[in-house]
């Protein structure tokens, strides 16, 4: 058996199984890329298997060839059944991370709940991004409590040159409200258009920019129709993660209107790490990182969105102060080495249990 890191020990081999991976810019892809890179930096051998690039049979065959020490899947409904089957087949620990819709929607959907429960029962360890998700899970499935690990998300936001204002023909003084989000119902993008329309009447040079892939076609058509009615609103389509990180340096504020998050939104963390003020829906995932009125704003209604967005647009000093506090919080409390250390500790505990 290969041991975890240690003098004279062999390198641990880890398999990560994800619904999406590079070049996808969806949240699961960004999270897995960050964790993969951090674990490689610590000397682990890591191989990623993605369901958007291989079918389950091909992934299972690849796992058999790899013979990993631990198999770690992201999103219970999408990867959980495969990860559980592979863990049993190879007799290695299976870990599952709950990433969002699996715990917020699928766990409460009569059609999906049995799948999620079976995956949770089979997992040797369950990872969640925040204590609020752990508490929700324990209320619904008390037996999972001893196997849950809370490992908070962090951020890695490397930039690639992207001239947003030049590309869209925006003036240097035009305030830009930016929303990086895949287009699907849970992101609740149509919510923002009525209050933004009111704001644009007050601020004639205000621009709105949306970036992200169309994930649900019906929602894409709905959002596209709303964009067509607003010449001050722009859609970039899917852009790379590095380009998103570069765009953040040229926008006024970032918004998140999600109905739910599996913990901490990558988009929110990235904006805060760059010192960009964030206006986000008042949900568990956003509350886990934003202190309302201190290092960002949270909203519960259209009226509150409008009021707080107006406040940010009208007060450059407030934007600067909030952005500085957000950047300091991310640098102090959301450090990548802490996230990676949490995963290393988990994997080492699981492989040690096997040797005992």
Q: Which of 301, 230, 286, 276 lies closest to 256 in space, CA to CA?
A: 286
What's the pLDDT tens digit per position in 95-109? 999 988 898 889 999
Listed in sequence order, the DSSP H helices in 130-212 are: 131-140, 164-168, 193-202
Structure tokens at 9: 């020990």
Structure tokens at 169: 């023909």
pTM: 0.83
Which parts of the chain have pLDDT scores under 50? 1-9
Structure tokens at 341: 């250390």
> Contact 38/339 with Cβ under 8 angstroms?
yes
What's the pLDDT tens digit per position in 159-217? 788 899 999 999 999 999 999 999 999 999 999 999 999 999 999 999 999 999 999 99
Domains, the chain, in order of start with CATH, read: 13-154+335-355 (3.40.50.2000), 164-333 (3.40.50.2000)
> Contact 175/313 with Cβ under 8 angstroms?
yes
What's the pLDDT tens digit per position in 261-279? 766 788 999 999 999 999 9
3-state class (DSSP) for residue 261:
coil
> Contact 258/283 with Cβ under 8 angstroms?
yes
Q: Cα separation of 265 and 153, whole Å?
A: 8
Q: Which of 257, 255, 299 lies closest to 277 in space, CA to CA?
A: 255
């Amino acid at each position: 058996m290969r041991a975890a890191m240690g003098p004279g020990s062999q390198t641990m081999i880890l398999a990560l199984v994800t619904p999406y991976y590079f070049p996808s810019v969806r949240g699961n892809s960004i999270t897995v890329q960050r964790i993969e890179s951090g674990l490689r930096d610590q000397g682990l051998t890591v191989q990623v298997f993605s369901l958007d690039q291989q079918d389950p049979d091909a992934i299972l065959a690849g796992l058999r060839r790899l013979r990993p020490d631990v198999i770690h899947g992201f999103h219970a409904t999408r990867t959980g059944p495969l990860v559980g089957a592979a863990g049993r087949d190879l007799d290695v620990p299976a870990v599952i991370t709950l990433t969002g819709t699996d715990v917020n929607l699928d766990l409460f959907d009569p059609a999906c709940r049995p799948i999620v429960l079976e995956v949770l029962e089979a997992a040797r360890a369950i990872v969640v991004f925040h204590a609020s998700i752990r508490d929700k899970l324990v209320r619904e499935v008390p037996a999972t409590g001893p196997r849950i690990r809370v490992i908070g998300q962090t951020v890695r936001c490397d930039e690639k040159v992207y001239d947003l204002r030049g590309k869209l023909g925006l003036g240097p003084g035009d305030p830009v409200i930016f929303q990086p989000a895949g287009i699907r119902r849970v992101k609740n993008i149509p919510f923002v258009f009525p209050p933004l329309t009111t704001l644009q009447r007050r601020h004639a040079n205000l621009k709105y920019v949306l970036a992200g892939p169309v994930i649900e076609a019906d929602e894409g058509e709905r959002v596209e129709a709303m964009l067509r009615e607003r010449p001050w609103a722009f859609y970039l389509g899917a852009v790379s993660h590095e380009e998103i990180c570069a765009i953040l340096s040229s926008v006024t504020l970032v918004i998140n209107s999600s109905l739910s998050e599996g913990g901490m939104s990558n988009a929110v963390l990235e904006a805060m790490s760059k010192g960009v003020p964030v206006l986000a829906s008042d949900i568990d995932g956003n509350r886990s990182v934003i202190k309302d009125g201190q290092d960002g704003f949270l909203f519960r209604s259209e009226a509150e969105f409008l009021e707080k967005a107006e406040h940010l647009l009208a007060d450059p000093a407030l934007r600067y102060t909030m952005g500085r506090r957000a950047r300091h919080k991310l640098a102090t409390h959301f450090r990548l080495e802490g996230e990676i250390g949490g995963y290393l500790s988990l994997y080492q505990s699981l492989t040690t249990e096997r040797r005992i």
